[in-house]
Structure 1
Amino acid sequence: MLYTMLTSSWLLYLAATIAAGTPVGDQNPLRGQNDATTPGHISTGLFASLERLSRLVDITYCVGTTGITQPFSCASRCKEFPTLELVTTWNTGVLMSDSCGYIAVDHGTTSMLSGNDGGIADTKKQGAIVVAFRGTYSITNTIIDLSTIPQEYVPYPSPDQGGSKPPKEPEHTCKNCTVHMGFLASWNIARAVVLPALKPLLEQYPSYPIYLVGHSLGGAVAALAALELKVVSGRDNIVVTTFGEPRVGNEGFVKYLDSVFDLGGKGAQNEAQTYRRVTHVDDPVPLLPLSEWGYRSHAGELFITKSSLPPEPSDIRVCVGDEDSKCIAGSVGEPLRTVGQALAKEQGQDIAMWTEGLWDIPSRFKLWQLFFAHRDYFWRLGLCVPGGDPIDWDRDKYPNFTTSDEL
């Protein structure tokens, strides 16, 4: 059934792209893995923060499966976070607009927002509120089947929709904004749990920063949640970190998000930014839905240039603007070398004469990477078993970059 779902979705996706006028065989040259020699890689401090957050988002996959219980216990990585206290979880099932996640309070974290010089900007011991959004097991259908139906985005939902009153004079306005209907539906489901649960926490811990994290669909939902929390509440201490986040909305929405989080548009990014969109060189999801359908990527990207696990700080590039050609945007036309071509090259045979252009597939068509690169963010994410995915069991932790009390 899963094979049929992926096959039908891939064919639908391929047909839609051809109809939109995207040439399948006309691709850009393959980029080298180690061609990023200019400055722009992250510090070990920021790396430690991202690695820890990747484990926190991996725990979301216990919601809807084996579960998370208080104080903060689950079948996966919960024991690695002894200072966390579970507040609540939510689960709406495995559907196209499914919404799952948890809220927890960390009573002993250290802020790990790093400066440009690689130093720690703030080492004061403090707590934090963590809101984590799980990815969906039906990400292919979620993106493809609904992406032709963009929906108007309203930053300030009306009170009868469970929203808050908009600011009298909003600093940022969202003009001609549309977002993916499935992503917005998932946030609308989650917000009925998230906002009421957050209200007493914000009153009880007013100085605690809010860390919103999400993988896959959860990254898109985290983006919508963060915008509402930041604009309506006016809080400045909101930090968003997403892994494999798909494109959420159109150009108007991207300009709005960049403005709200001061991502600088085409200007240089820095490690102190409060929105970190982590992407992977082989992951097709950050390139979806299609730009031909009006979707765009926003700024704040941190690009993992290494295909295999585990990455190191030197493997992560700080990207510039919404679509840096040296980051995920540059892999739109990356061709795929087939197994046959790889074997032939290993045997010293040249088969390029009769295979050239036949199997060149851009990254955004590599839907089989939903099982691999889309999950390869510091760890193999997405399986709630002791120690995480079995592929991680024989891997060492990150002793040089990680401590138990760092966000």
Structure 2
Amino acid sequence: MGYQDIELIPGKQYRAQEVAQLHNLVRKYMRYSTAATSFVELKKGWASCGLACNSPDVQDVVLNYTWHVNVPLSDGLIAVHSRDKEIVVALAGTHRYRALITDISVLTYPYIPGTTMGVHGGFLDSVKGIVDQVQQHLEKLIVDYPDYMVIFTGHSKGGAEAALSALEIVRKIDGIKPRVRVWTFGEPRLGDAEFAEFYNQRLGSVTYRVTSAADPVVAMPPHFLFNYCHHNLEIWLMNEAGDVYVGENRTACYEDPKASSSIDFFYRSIAWHKNYLGLPPPDHAAALFSW
């Protein structure tokens, strides 16, 4: 079967029935994001994350590696799906008290030492803490599965760290870039305008930054703090029906005023952060009792 890119035109609105393939991919990768946030463990197998992992579109997935790191905080997994010919790297969202510390660490650090290119300090610390292990496993997997795509995905904090991890991996592993795709959901802003441009030049054309109706998290951290900006490509799920607007690439700060940024912050609701085509992440209220 294998991964197939979808063709979407920036600046165009689609009715839900026109983008069934997109909807299927959103649901599939949200399930991986759910697994990452459910403390799935290698020894317990893929099905240990519950109902989301038992869906037909993610059956026969084999876990390759999982991690649960406290300092700096990061949880995630690497899985192989032979039917779809995909190697999936999924990072957990905000699901522990300690994760809130990462989220609010909004000071930007230079992404590359000696430059002024700023990236969210909390997300950068988390990714730097696990990227070497991810690299080690991917280097073997891409040899074992030479025709498989490598998908990075995550919801919320996990989305930001998935995008940043993908950027790190294409810098570290020669030849992997043509195989990389990035799917994020409810991703907060990751860095400043200079970093967004840097990201877009490398992965903007293979990134799907999915936003949901009036999700408030995608508007954070606010732009006035350290010039925070989003990267491409925004896929805005406009309503519960799943109508879609594809953000224009060449707008200020890469945020199309006709997409999710058209919603005033005071009209946003956290309920939309937990609803991506009806697929919420795990019960955050319960998960947050873990430190």
If the length of structure 2 is used for normalisation, what is the TM-score? 0.81
The answer to whether the Cα contact below 8 Å between 2:235 and 2:246 also exists between their aligned partners in 1 is yes
Partner of 2:4: none
How far apart in 2 are the matches of 1:328 and 1:140? 24
The Cα shift of 1:252 comes to: 0.6
Q: Does 1:143 align with 2:116?
A: no
Partner of 1:396: none
Partner of 1:245: 187
The Cα shift of 1:142 comes to: 3.1
The Cα shift of 1:380 comes to: 4.1
The answer to whether the Cα contact below 8 Å between 2:36 and 2:75 also exists between their aligned partners in 1 is yes
How far apart in 2 are the matches of 1:57 and 1:143? 17
Candidates 223, 229, 247, aligned match of 1:319 = 247
Candidates 112, 116, 132, aligned match of 1:154 = 112
How far apart in 2 are the matches of 1:60 and 1:246? 18
Letter in 1 for 2:202: V
Partner of 1:13: none
Letter in 2 for 1:225: S
Candidates 34, 37, 40, aligned match of 2:13 = 40
Q: Which has the larger radius of gyration?
A: 1
Partner of 1:223: 163
Q: Does 1:90 align with 2:67?
A: yes
Counterparts in 2 of 1:232 and 1:384: CA distance versus 1, 3 Å: same
Q: Does 1:259 align with 2:201?
A: yes
Counterparts in 2 of 1:84 and 1:329: CA distance versus 1, 3 Å: same
% identical aligned pairs: 28
Give a deviation string over 1:178-226, Cα, whole Å, max 9, x none: 1011000110122132111212111211221101111111111111111
Partner of 2:134: 194
If the length of structure 1 is used for normalisation, what is the TM-score? 0.59
Candidates 363, 381, 385, aligned match of 2:280 = 381
Question: SS at 1:379's partner residue?
Answer: coil
The answer to whether the Cα contact below 8 Å between 1:133 and 1:219 also exists between their aligned partners in 2 is yes
Partner of 1:280: 212
The answer to whether the Cα contact below 8 Å between 1:54 and 1:379 also exists between their aligned partners in 2 is no
Counterparts in 2 of 1:198 and 1:384: CA distance versus 1, 3 Å: farther
Q: Does 1:297 align with 2:230?
A: yes
Question: SS at 1:101's partner residue?
Answer: strand
User: Aligned-residue CA RMSD in angstroms?
Assistant: 2.5
How far apart in 2 are the matches of 1:244 and 1:334? 14
Alignment of 1:9-24 (within 5 A): none
Counterparts in 2 of 1:380 and 1:78: CA distance versus 1, 3 Å: closer
The answer to whether the Cα contact below 8 Å between 2:61 and 2:81 also exists between their aligned partners in 1 is yes
The Cα shift of 1:175 comes to: 5.9
More strand by share: 2
Q: Does 1:132 align with 2:110?
A: no
Letter in 2 for 1:373: W
Letter in 1 for 2:156: S
Question: SS at 2:188's partner residue?
Answer: coil
Give a deviation string over 1:58-108, Cα, whole Å, max 9, x none: 111221xx6454552214122222221111110124x7x521011011111
The answer to whether the Cα contact below 8 Å between 2:233 and 2:247 also exists between their aligned partners in 1 is yes
Partner of 2:27: 51
The answer to whether the Cα contact below 8 Å between 2:73 and 2:102 also exists between their aligned partners in 1 is no
User: Which consecutive segments of 4 or more residues in structure 1 shift more than 6 A?
Assistant: none
Letter in 1 for 2:28: R
Q: Does 1:206 align with 2:146?
A: yes
The answer to whether the Cα contact below 8 Å between 1:61 and 1:384 also exists between their aligned partners in 2 is no
How far apart in 1 are the matches of 2:24 and 2:139? 29
Letter in 1 for 2:68: N
The Cα shift of 1:323 comes to: 0.7
How many pairs are equivalent? Answer: 260
How far apart in 1 are the matches of 2:283 and 2:261? 31
How far apart in 2 are the matches of 1:69 and 1:383? 20
How far apart in 2 are the matches of 1:140 and 1:70? 27
Give a deviation string over 1:269-304, Cα, whole Å, max 9, x none: xxxx42000012221111111211121111200001
Mark the runs of 5 or more structure 2 residues left unpaired by the alignment.
1-10
How far apart in 2 are the matches of 1:382 and 1:99? 16
Q: Does 1:74 align with 2:14?
A: no
Q: Does 1:107 align with 2:82?
A: yes
Letter in 1 for 2:91: F
The answer to whether the Cα contact below 8 Å between 2:182 and 2:206 also exists between their aligned partners in 1 is yes
How far apart in 1 are the matches of 2:160 and 2:73? 12
Give a deviation string over 1:119-140, Cα, whole Å, max 9, x none: xxxxxxxx11011001023565
More helix by share: 2
Question: SS at 1:252's partner residue?
Answer: helix
Give a deviation string over 1:371-407, Cα, whole Å, max 9, x none: x22111123423279xxx9xxxxxxxxxxxxxxxxxx
How far apart in 2 are the matches of 1:193 and 1:232? 12
Counterparts in 2 of 1:75 and 1:211: CA distance versus 1, 3 Å: closer
Partner of 2:3: none
Counterparts in 2 of 1:40 and 1:129: CA distance versus 1, 3 Å: same
